[in-house]
Amino acid sequence: MSHGFQIGDYILVPSLNQLHHIDQVYTLEPKVIDLLLFFAHQPNIIASREEIRHAIWGKTLVSDHAINRLVSQLRKALSDNKQPYQYIETVAKRGYRLVANVTLATEKKRYQKGHNKALRQHKYLWIIITIITMCTVYGFKDELFSSGSALKINGGTIKQISAIPGREWLPKYSSNGQWLTFLHFDKVTKRFHIMLKTDEQELAKSAYTTQKRISDYYWLPHQDRLIVATFDGEHCLIEQLEISKPYSAFDTTAFGIPCGNTAARSIAWSQADDKLYWIADSGELHQQKIDTHQLPFTSLDLAAVEKVPLVNNIYQLVLSLNGKHLALLKHHQWERSAIELYNVENNQLQTIYKSQSLIHALSWDNAGEHLVFVEGNSINTVTLQGELNVAGFNSENDIYNIHYNAERAELLYASSNAKYQLIKLTKQTGGGYHEKRPQWRSQMNERNPVYSHDGESLAFISQRAGQYGIAIKQDDSSVRQLKLHDLDLSQTLIRWSPDDQKLLFHSEKSLFIYSLVTDKYKKVTADNIYADVVAWSYRMPENIYFRSDLDGQMNIWLVNIYSGNISKLTEKGGFSGHESEDGQYFYYGKEVEDGLWRLNLTTNEEVLVLKGFSRENHLSWYLVDQGIYYLYSREHVPSIYYYSFDSKSEQLLWPYKPWTHGGFTISSDQKNIVLGLKEQIEWNIMSIGVNKSGW
């Protein structure tokens, strides 16, 4: 189990801010630990002052004196105060580097003869450290359980494979299981790396690096080579890399295959038909016959590239070990997912699993009998016949990319402990909004906020102990948790009733109403109706707007909360909407015809208000008297804008660095905006032991 580092004669336990030396335990300042951890991830590599400043203090400006002082504190902790330095070496005019030997520390490893006695004395301490570290390293906390004949967790063994600062994702074993690779993005140098790990105790090393974005890679079966898809902003290229001896780096071939002018989301090569498959950014599946044994790749005629018919909206593909089946992860526009199976030999396509939630990662088991996938923050399995099993792993943290290896009884995944937090923007006298981090913000995962109509209360989704719920902030200090049990609220939106006495939300595929007076809730729609929250009606408070595909296309409907009667409102699609406070108009976005439309609820006359208004880029929006406030994503950077119906112009209110949005809301007087925000995301590679019994 790799939970820390042995650095020379010292053992670093970062989760406890501790440094162990023979029979001594030293508790150090967090920044001193951070600096030593930073060096441990890149031994013998010179780190400039600027790199240290960015890694330890982020964007906070600090002087060179502060850096010198921190290095001096670290040297003192390591008893490394005299030249020549044995641990932290000064490299003139360039920076510092760690020159001591660095290895991964494990509970059972004996570091030196002189340490044996101390380790025996600290046997129970190490057991405690191991348990705590597994649960808390980098904020990672998971709940493990077993269920029936599902994928079982071997004693809850979680390992952190790597923790390099930045983002780590897409872990994969080579086809022979000898090498482990994953992607890493260095936020300082802005370079993408393929990291290579050839031994369990060895630190991962950069084996290939490029300034181009790496979107995916694929180990060729029974070969020491892989193919990698890169994108420079204008051109996609699929290159072939071969591992060089002594197995420390990849050599690129002299020629690559152009794959269009958009990034390839996912790639694979099938030995069953000698075809290269990749998913274009449009979600279409492309194929081209190619001989991977020929080095370098022969030139590819883009005119000969074929699109696989009737296959679209694909997010990810994974190829079975025998190369005969492509498992395709399909995303629908209304946040539903499907897993489809494509037979490369007879071109048959079948759907084996549908979900009302978002599935965002997929992997085969080695036998090709099951698919392992991530739904929400849980890992489940499904057979090729569509039989669903709960895999037995549920995480409080986000899970990205999974890779299952049956021979090693190991499941790899990328995980992040970043959480959504609510921040408040206050309107300034001269215009624009000023960011204010509210004092009432807790450490919960908080998103999808919505102000009540009187502006006195704020409802939002919160996550505590792995469970999602609805919370209400009624002043700057108190937060009220609603009594909701056994409901999946991970994907819900919330809407207040016109009198601010009730809340509308959805769980899985049904609508619910919660009374704040009685502290009780009831279901509004039948179990056989898929329904998403849209809005509450001002004109007829007994009616609510919801989104459903009752007629085969996602449209907006009305339901009476007392009688249950349903009527259709839109004809050509709709993804969100708001009714004007006078009850005269309903504004909504269309999926078939991108744009914001205004529907006269008396005459049924429709008018196009704003062209180009789309679900993909207009992430969330609110209607006010003479315009709309909305989150708009340009190049994956969401910002808040205001669009005036009168002047037909937009105004940028709050730009920001790249972040993941968790909804936003605006007060009725338009003075305050609260939004859910996830930033400074760090992804790390994790591993968990599994048991295949029962499959």
pLDDT at residue 679 is higher than 70? no
Q: Are residues 88 and 51 in the same domain?
A: yes
Most confident of the following: 77-91, 334-348, 440-454, 679-693: 77-91
pLDDT tens profile 442-471: 456 788 899 999 888 999 988 776 678 899
Query: Tell me, what's the pLDDT at 138?
Result: 34
Around 118, how many Cα atoms within 13 Å sit in the side-chain half-sphere? 16
Query: Is 431 inside any structural domain?
Result: no
Query: Is 612 inside any structural domain?
Result: no
Query: Is 520 inside any structural domain?
Result: no
Give the sign of the dihedral formed by CA 302, CA 303, CA 305, CA 308.
Answer: positive
Residues paired with 632 in a beta bridge: 618, 639
Q: Are residues 40 and 171 in the same domain?
A: no
CATH number, residue 66: 1.10.10.10
Q: What percent of the chain has a predicted confidence (pLDDT) above 90? A: 20
Q: Are residues 151 and 112 in the same domain?
A: no
Choice between 121 and 48, residue whose per-residue pLDDT is larger? 48
Mean pLDDT across the chain: 78
Which of 411, 401, 399, 364 has its CA nearest to residue 383?
364
pLDDT at residue 480 is higher than 50? yes
pLDDT at residue 225 is higher than 70? yes
**How many CB atoms are closer than 10 A to CB 325?**
22
pLDDT at residue 370 is higher than 90? no
**pLDDT band, very low/low/confident/very high, at 30 (cuts 50, 70, 90):** confident
Q: Looking at 73, 93, 121, which one is the last position of a domain?
A: 121
Q: Are residues 29 and 102 in the same domain?
A: yes
- Domain count for the chain, please give it: 2
Query: Is 537 inside any structural domain?
Result: no
pLDDT tens profile 494-514: 999 999 999 999 887 789 999
Q: Are residues 156 and 104 in the same domain?
A: no
- Look up the pTM and report it: 0.59
Cα–Cα distances in angstroms (integers) from residue 193 to residues 157, 222, 267, 579, 685, in the given order: 28, 23, 18, 49, 14
CATH number, residue 150: 2.130.10.10
Q: Are residues 48 and 168 in the same domain?
A: no
Q: Are residues 200 and 81 in the same domain?
A: no
Choice between 477 and 652, residue whose per-residue pLDDT is larger? 652
Query: Tell me, what's the pLDDT at 600?
Result: 94
Q: Are residues 109 and 188 in the same domain?
A: no
Mean pLDDT score, 334-361:
83
Contact 658, 379 (CB under 8 A): no
Choice between 329 and 334, residue whose per-residue pLDDT is larger? 329
Query: Tell me, what's the pLDDT at 660?
Result: 67
Query: Tell me, what's the pLDDT at 132?
Result: 38
Q: Are residues 115 and 246 in the same domain?
A: no
Query: Is 626 inside any structural domain?
Result: no
Q: Are residues 101 and 173 in the same domain?
A: no
Query: Tell me, what's the pLDDT at 685?
Result: 85
**pLDDT band, very low/low/confident/very high, at 62 (cuts 50, 70, 90):** confident
| Contacts with 433 (C-beta within 8 Å, 6 or more apart), sequence order | 425, 426, 427, 640, 653, 654, 673
Mean pLDDT score, 355-366:
80
Q: Are residues 268 and 403 in the same domain?
A: yes
Cα–Cα distances in angstroms (integers) from residue 679 to residues 93, 164, 461, 652, 659, in the given order: 34, 18, 18, 20, 5
Q: Are residues 283 and 374 in the same domain?
A: yes
Query: Tell me, what's the pLDDT at 569?
Result: 92
- Sheet with strand 618-624: strands edge to edge: 618-624, 627-634, 637-644, 649-654
**pLDDT band, very low/low/confident/very high, at 247 (cuts 50, 70, 90):** low
Choice between 313 and 658, residue whose per-residue pLDDT is larger? 313
Query: Is 193 inside any structural domain?
Result: yes
pLDDT tens profile 381-416: 888 888 877 656 777 677 888 888 777 778 888 887
Q: Which domain covers residue 77, as residue numbers?
A: 4-121
**pLDDT band, very low/low/confident/very high, at 157 (cuts 50, 70, 90):** low
